[in-house]
Amino acid sequence: MLEYLKYIRRSLHKIPELFHQEFLTQKFIISELESLKLKYKTIKTAVIVDILGFDTKTRLAFRADMDALPVTEQNDADYKSIHIGRMHACGHDGHMAMLMGVAKYFSNEKPPVNLRLIFQPAEESEGGAEMLIENGVLKDVDAIFGLHLSPEYPIGVIATDAGAIFAGVCDFHIIFEGKSGHCADYQRYIDSIKAGNEFYNRIYKLFNEKYQSKTVFHVGKITAGTASNIVADKAQYDCTFRFFDENIQEDFMMRLEEILIDVENLTGAIHRVIVENYYPPLINSIHIIQMLKNKFDIIQAQPKYTAEDFAYYLKKTSGAFAWLGIKDENHIAPLHNDKFDFDEKALLIGLNYYIKIAQNSLVQQ
């Protein structure tokens, strides 16, 4: 199986494609599935495989993401990306290889329960999970599982925990609109920068007093004005709020709007809030995690303030997402790095994890 995993991973590593453009990736996966004589269906660039088990009343799903990143690879390997400016720098090639390993294993051995293998596009940016859910990919699914390679944990380690292990993320723009004119007569105009700075000071004061524990608020970009002697008629503040409890996020956004209304009344600059994207926190099912801990040697994962769209699946059904360690002395580059690589022996651990979950039918215990 190791040679098969290496073949799949390296073949896919050569042809990285960005979100919703995974055409060659899909073609390769389909070719492999057909050689295994497994039935499949496609949803845009996704590939969905259903494998019939002995107990047809229970269905477990396993997901691998397919898309790559806009990164130019700096590794010198015979499986280096042939698509300049694109790279599997987040391990999705390894994720797909493990899922193809599951397909190969159960193409020869009927599983105890029904299995659904989900090759999902657009994890990195466009919320491919939502698209698949809308197209019924979770129909009749009792639990769903996923793994993500991690250079933060030693090779072969599986790390996860019950509850929220990835943050929810709300990225948004706040636009202040005033009235432009020469600064020599600034009293006659409405300064959008003044409004934005008032908001900036107030929102950070509120955050530090009320929300600093287990949340992150950050203004990462400010765009405003045209010249030093002109009152700015527009200012844009690009913000992110990261959280592990959606109730806290709702409360924060409500208080943010209260501040914006106060600033508008004070300065006269009107405001707009535009949400760019939203991810819920990834919350692992407590009972599923306990079952996994009874079967595997799992270490406790520390929650991260990054987003993971596997969270959308877990809002709809039970399941668990976990890290698979790949760190060794030769592979220390972080995720999304142009030198990211790993020893494929780690994929055997992930494959064994998936197979044992399927064989033990965890949701029935």
Tokens of 224: 């405003």
Q: What is the DSSP code string of 110-157?
A: --SEEEEEEEE---SSS-HHHHHHHTTTTTT-SEEEEEEEEEEEETT-
Q: Classify strands 230-231 and 113-120 as parallel, antiparallel or unpaired.
A: unpaired
Tokens of 97: 């290889």
β-pair partners for 129: none
**DSSP-H helix ranges across the chain:** 2-13, 23-35, 92-108, 128-134, 192-206, 246-267, 286-295, 310-316, 345-360
Long-range contacts of 42-46 (CB under 8 A, 24+ apart): 43/131, 43/132, 43/135, 43/137, 44/20, 44/121, 44/131, 45/20, 45/21, 45/121, 45/122, 46/118, 46/119, 46/120, 46/121, 46/128, 46/131, 46/132, 46/137
Whether residue 154 contacts residue 167, with contact meaning beta carbons closer than 8 Å, is answered with no
Q: Which residues neighbour 198 within 8 Å (Cβ) at sequence distance 6 or greater? A: 263, 266, 267
β-pair partners for 50: 116
Q: Which residues are catalytic?
A: 279, 344
